[in-house]
């Protein structure tokens, strides 16, 4: 039997349809944690980097990748963990950043704080806490519309 | 060049620091003075436990005896632990917890910076990853020490008491033996630590204790304080009572 290997581009597309388990509006590709997709003979190697070393979503992410790719008929699959270069929010896609803001999470900014309130777009914002509901977020508040919101930490 | 035995020992030191402090900080979960601090403490603990998995995971590989990070964390007893005495000290009040965190972070950030770019590729990668998280921890603990030190009369008194009590555990962080020197000698990091700590303490209106007397014996495993055994009794209960337990 001759089977045709799916192209690497197809695999990237499939992975771009796998949502982040904590922030389901963005995909794993948007998040920038898929570092490489390659065939080694008949085995597909997907290289993944963790966002935070203790992020409990990491296990679920690996499971979701495996489930999605098995669903597309991939039989021999290997997930590789890569620590270096360490994940940075610079790897978030533009599409991902826009989706985060629409969802109510201010995307990361090099200045170290959100540019504006994701709800009313006011620039009058203040920090409530350096940490938030997941390792990748901090809590901020808009002093105009008074809504608290998550800010995706810039690292 | 470190032997495998030295490398294993050194990796346990790094992993046990993160594990013991991570567990201590996690004891606050559900008890912190305000919700935001509760979340911040839990997040810090989570980062440290994540780093533990990386260090102890590598330690297990180097040892080659079939022990993984969980086996090392849950199936060693007090005398096998190689953490600094500082991190096993009990939480006491929020001030002690944050002072302990600040002193550890100030050392940790220098240590990880020195390890980033280490010849051992995996050590360098773990340090690079951890450094990003620890930079964040150090910023928060320094801010908190300043806010509470230069806060109310009561918060100032408590922070000074915490500093006085914990200072004798600072010296051990910079002691070095052959194991340390085979991988990364912490002794030369003292100057940068002092500069960082002095600046924060001055802003916090806290007085650095005169004596540099140092308790030691944690990272060599010779003499832990009484607190570690009690902590392990809680931390290791479940996997010891139910060795086959799975999530």
Q: Which residues of A touch B54 (CB under 8 A)?
A: 53, 83
pLDDT at B24 over 60: yes
pLDDT score at B43: 95
pLDDT-based confidence at A122, cuts 50/70/90?
very high
The proportion of chain B whose per-residue pLDDT surpasses 70, expressed as a percent, equals: 100
The proportion of chain B whose per-residue pLDDT surpasses 90, expressed as a percent, equals: 96
pLDDT score at B196: 98
Q: Which residues contact B38 (CB under 8 A, 6 or more apart)?
A: B28, B29, B30, B31, B32
Q: CB B44 to CB A135 under 8 A?
A: no
**Choice among B28-37, B140-149, B164-173 with the minimum mean pLDDT:** B28-37
Q: Which residues of B touch A50 (CB under 8 A)?
A: 50, 129
pLDDT-based confidence at A55, cuts 50/70/90?
confident
Q: Which residues of B touch A87 (CB under 8 A)?
A: 129
pLDDT score at A2: 54
B122 to chain A nearest CA, in Å? 8
User: Which architecture characterizes domain B4-241 according to CATH?
Assistant: Up-down Bundle (1.20)
Residues B199-208: tens digit of each pLDDT = 999 999 999 9
Query: Which of A52, A84, A133 minimises the CB distance to B47?
Result: A52
User: A residues 85-144 near B, CB within 8 Å?
Assistant: 85-87, 128-133, 135, 139
Q: CB A54 to CB B36 under 8 A?
A: no
The residue of chain B nearest to residue A88, with distances taken between CA atoms, is B132
Q: What is the distance, to the nearest Å, from the Cα of residue B115 to the centroid of all Cα atoms in its chain?
A: 16
B58 to chain A nearest CA, in Å? 13
Q: What is the DSSP string of chain B?
A: ---HHHHHHHHHHHHHHHHHHHHHHHTTTTTSSSHHHHHHHHHHHHHHHHHHHHHHHHHHHHHTSS--HHHHHHS--GGG----HHHHS---SHHHHHHHHHHHHHHHHHHHHHHTT-SSHHHHHHHHHHHHHHHHHHHHHHHHHHHHHTS-HHHHHHHHHHHHHHGGGTGGGG---HHHHHH--SGGGHHHHHHHHHHHHHHTT-PPPS-------TTTTS---HHHHHHHHHHTHHHHHSTT---
Helix/strand/coil percentages in chain A, nearest 5:
25, 25, 50
pLDDT at A1 over 60: no
Residues B105-150: tens digit of each pLDDT = 999 999 999 999 999 999 999 999 999 999 999 999 999 999 999 9
What is chain A's mean pLDDT, rounded? 94
The proportion of chain A whose per-residue pLDDT surpasses 90, expressed as a percent, equals: 85
pLDDT score at B167: 98
pLDDT at B16 over 60: yes
Residue of A53, A63, A137 to mutate when probing chain B, most B C-beta within 10 A: A53
Residue of A83, A126, A140 to mutate when probing chain B, most B C-beta within 10 A: A83
| All domains in chain A, ordered by first residue | 8-88 (3.30.300.130), 104-152 (no CATH)
ipTM of the complex: 0.89
Query: Which of A54, A84, A129 minimises the CB distance to B39?
Result: A129
pLDDT score at B1: 79
pLDDT-based confidence at A139, cuts 50/70/90?
very high
pLDDT score at A56: 85
Half-sphere exposure of B59 (CA within 13 A, CB side): 25
């Amino acid at each position: 039997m001759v089977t045709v290997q799916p192209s690497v581009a197809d695999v990237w597309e499939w992975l771009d349809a796998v949502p982040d388990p904590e922030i389901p509006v963005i995909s794993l590709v948007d998040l920038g944690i898929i570092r490489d997709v390659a065939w080694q003979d008949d085995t597909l190697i997907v290289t993944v980097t963790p966002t935070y070393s203790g992020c409990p979503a990491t296990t679920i992410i690996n499971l979701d990748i495996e489930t999605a790719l098995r669903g597309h008929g991939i039989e021999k699959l290997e997930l590789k963990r890569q620590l270096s270069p360490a994940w940075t929010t610079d790897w978030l896609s533009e599409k991902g950043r826009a989706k985060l803001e629409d969802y109510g999470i201010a995307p990361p900014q090099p200045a170290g704080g959100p540019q504006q309130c994701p709800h009313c777009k006011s620039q009058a914002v203040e920090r409530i806490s350096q940490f938030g509901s997941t390792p990748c977020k901090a809590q901020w508040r808009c002093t105009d519309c008074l809504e608290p919101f998550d800010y995706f930490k810039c690292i | 060049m470190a032997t495998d035995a030295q490398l294993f020992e050194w990796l346990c030191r790094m992993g046990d620091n993160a594990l013991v402090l991570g567990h201590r900080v996690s004891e606050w979960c559900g008890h912190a003075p305000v919700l935001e601090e509760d979340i911040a403490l839990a997040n810090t603990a989570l980062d440290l436990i994540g780093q533990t998995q990386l260090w102890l995971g590598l330690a297990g590989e180097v040892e080659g005896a079939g022990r993984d990070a969980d086996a090392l964390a849950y199936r060693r007893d007090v005398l096998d632990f190689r953490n600094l005495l500082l991190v096993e000290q009990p939480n006491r009040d929020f001030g002690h917890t944050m002072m302990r965190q600040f002193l550890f972070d100030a050392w940790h950030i220098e240590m990880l910076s020195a390890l980033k770019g280490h010849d051992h590729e995996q050590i360098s990668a773990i340090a690079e990853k951890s450094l990003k998280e620890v930079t964040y921890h150090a910023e928060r603990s320094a801010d908190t020490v300043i806010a509470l030190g230069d806060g109310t009369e009561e918060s100032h008194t408590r922070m000074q008491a915490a500093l006085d009590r914990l200072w004798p555990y600072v010296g051990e962080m910079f002691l070095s033996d052959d194991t340390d020197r085979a991988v990364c000698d912490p002794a030369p990091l003292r100057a940068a630590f002092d500069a960082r700590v002095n600046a924060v303490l001055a802003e916090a209106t806290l007085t650095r204790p005169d004596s540099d007397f140092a308790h030691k014996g944690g990272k060599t495993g010779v003499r832990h304080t009484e607190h570690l055994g009690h902590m392990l009794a809680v931390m290791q209960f479940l996997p010891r009572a139910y060795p086959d337990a799975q999530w």
